[in-house]
Structure 1
Amino acid sequence: MSWLYLGIAVIFEVAVGIFAGKAQGFTKLWWTIGTLVAGAIGTFFLSLALLTFDVGVGYAIWTSVSGVGIVIVGALFFSQRLTLKKLLGIALIIGGVVGLNLAGTA
């Protein structure tokens, strides 16, 4: 169940990244509210996941996978370029997440 909670937390954190960009420095009310609400929900689900995960491992997975998600959403829906360097960075992040997960089970 903790993986499900972490997955939900990642989805809301990706939303935070997208909404915060649209909030334009918190000058757009509804995007600002969306940012804050999504952040609160994401943090709530992260806290549930951290009942099982080590804090460092769970938080690292949450932030890393969320960052990759934001880059992918930006490329798919906001015409942001997905360069070879970005793809290499994503591959390194995925490798790090797998390594943290394996280390957490040892």
Structure 2
Amino acid sequence: MHWLHLGIAVIFEITVALSAERARGFTRPSWTAATLASGAVATYFLSRALLTFDVGVGYAIWTSLAGVGIVVLSALVLRQRLDWRKALGILAVIGGVVGLQLSGAA
């Protein structure tokens, strides 16, 4: 169940970033509300996941997977550039997450 909670937290953290970009410095009320609500949901599910994960490992996995998701979706949805250096960085992050998982963290 902890992986499900962490997965939901990742999805909502990605939503935070994409909504914050659209909120334009919190000048658009509906996107501002979406940013804040998504942040609350992400934090709730992260806290549920951290009941099982070590806090350092759970937080690292959460931020890493959310970061990868944000970069990929920004390229797809916001038409931001995804070059080979970003792709290499994504592979490095995924390698780090796999390494944390192999450490027997949860």
Q: Which TM-score tier does this pair reach, normalised by the shorter chain?
A: over 0.9
Cα deviation per residue 1:28-68 (whole Å; 9 max; x = unaligned)?
A: 11111100000000000000000000000000000000000
State the one-letter code of the partner of 2:104: G
Q: CA RMSD in A?
A: 1.2
Q: Give the CA deviation at 1:100.
A: 1.0
Shift of 1:105: 4.1
| Letter of the structure 2 residue corresponding to residue 55 of structure 1 | V
Counterpart-to-counterpart distance in 1, 2:77 and 2:28: 20
Report the counterpart of residue 59 of structure 1 in structure 2: 59
Taking the TM superposition and a 5 Å limit, the aligned residue runs for 1:1-106 are 1-105=1-105
Aligned length: 106
Identity over aligned residues, as a percent? Answer: 63
TM-score (norm 2): 0.96
Check the 8 A contact 2:75/2:81 in 1, yes or no: yes
- Provide the TM-score with structure 1 as the length reference: 0.96
Amino acid at match of 2:79: S
1:104 offset after TM fit, Å? 3.3
Runs (5+) with no aligned partner, structure 1: none
Aligned equivalents of 2:89, 2:39: Cα separation in 1: 25
